[in-house]
Amino acid sequence: MDTPAACAQNPHMGWLPPADDGASFEALLRHRPELAALYKQFYGTFWDDALLPRALLELCRLRIAQVHGCDAELAIDDEQAALSPERRQALERWQDADCYAEDERAALVLAEKMPWQHHEITDGEFAHMRSLLGERGAVALMVALALFDANCRLKLVFGLNPAPATVPQPASAAGPLY
Amino acid sequence: MSTIPRASSAIPGQPPSFGTALAHQPGLQSRFGALYSTFWMQGVVDHRTKEITRMRNARVTDCGF
């Protein structure tokens, strides 16, 4: 595929130029400002309203990014999740590691399958996760996994380059979207 | 593939569905509704094209719902 001239002039972007001076996911979404604001409110809910344990959320976000091979998503580090280097390092082979709690492992089973094997999530796997997180937690987790998956797909299709950053939270209604 | 409803309805008297399960998290539900309805009601892409891509995405992901 030919590279559009506007993208060739901007080394940070892929198929679309940014809508403002930034070169971020948010800058790209601002081509549709009304949708960008609503998307931040929706996606930011996980952190703004603390719907799930912060580390569990971060592990799932990163694992889905690993499954997709999405370097732009992997470049973001949620500071308040406070993942130890060991836990972050072991994530690619989390099944063999002993540094994850039972609820984290139950969530990672589903995160692992969400991108390409969503039909292979079993009733038992879902029920086990729900027994640990509760009904409200289970609903929140599944929406989070779907959004992590969608974000990776968007970043990959848009050709966003990794911009390493340690952030207060990956998204919020009032703050940036990474 | 799911063989049973995995998430219950949060709305008494209504069966499990995407909407009634999402109601377990009212904040998520309302913000999703705002985003998704805006996506459908506004924008530069015509409604027919959105519907075609929605249906095609459901086919590709084998989502009978």
On the question of pLDDT at A7 being above 50, the answer is no
Closest by Cα among B54, B27, B43 to A42: B27
**Domain layout of chain A by residue ranges:** 23-167
Å between A106 CA and nearest CA of chain B = 15
Which DSSP letter does residue A4 get?
Answer: P
Average pLDDT, chain A: 90
Per residue in A60-104, pLDDT (tens digit) is 999 999 999 999 999 999 999 999 999 999 999 999 999 999 999
Q: Which residue has the higher pLDDT, B50 or A23?
A: B50
B4 chain-A contacts, CB cut-off 8 A: 123
Asked whether the beta carbons of residue B32 and residue A143 sit closer than 8 angstroms, the reply is: yes
* pTM, to two decimals: 0.90
Q: Percent of chain B scored above 90 by pLDDT? A: 80
Top CATH class, A23-167: mainly alpha
In the three-class reduction of DSSP (H, G, I as helix; E, B as strand; rest coil), residue A29 is classed as helix
Q: Is the ipTM of this complex over 0.95?
A: no
Both tokens assigned to A61: 């976000």
pLDDT interval class at A6 (50, 70, 90):
very low
Asked whether the beta carbons of residue A135 and residue B4 sit closer than 8 angstroms, the reply is: no
In the three-class reduction of DSSP (H, G, I as helix; E, B as strand; rest coil), residue A84 is classed as coil
B20 chain-A contacts, CB cut-off 8 A: none
On the question of pLDDT at A22 being above 70, the answer is no
pLDDT value at residue A104:
98
* Candidates A32, A126, A136; nearest CB to B25: A136
Task: Quickly list DSSP for A95-164.
Answer: GG-S-S-HHHHHHHHHHHHTTT-GGG--HHHHHHHHHHHHHHHHHHHHHHHHHHHHHHHHHHHHTPPP--
If you measure CA to CA, which chain A residue comes closest to B63?
A119
pLDDT interval class at A24 (50, 70, 90):
confident
- Mean of pLDDT values over A122-128: 96
Å between A63 CA and nearest CA of chain B = 21
On the question of pLDDT at A158 being above 50, the answer is yes
Per residue in B16-38, pLDDT (tens digit) is 999 999 999 999 999 999 999 99
Å between A126 CA and nearest CA of chain B = 7
pLDDT value at residue A50:
98
Per residue in A31-40, pLDDT (tens digit) is 999 999 999 9
Q: Percent of chain A scored above 70 by pLDDT? A: 87
* Candidates B4, B31, B38; nearest CB to A45: B31
Closest by Cα among B4, B9, B12, B6 to B23: B9
pLDDT value at residue B4:
79
pLDDT value at residue A10:
44
Q: Percent of chain A scored above 90 by pLDDT? A: 86
* Candidates B1, B10, B31; nearest CB to A119: B1
* Candidates A119, A126, A136; nearest CB to B6: A126
Residues A46-52: contacts with CB within 8 Å, 24+ apart?
A46/A140, A46/A144, A46/A147, A46/A171, A47/A169, A47/A170, A47/A171, A47/A172, A48/A169, A48/A172, A48/A173, A48/A174, A49/B27, A51/A137, A51/A140, A51/A144, A51/B25, A51/B27, A51/B28, A52/A133, A52/A137, A52/A140, A52/A141, A52/A144
Determine contact, residues A91/A43, Cβ cutoff 8 Å: no
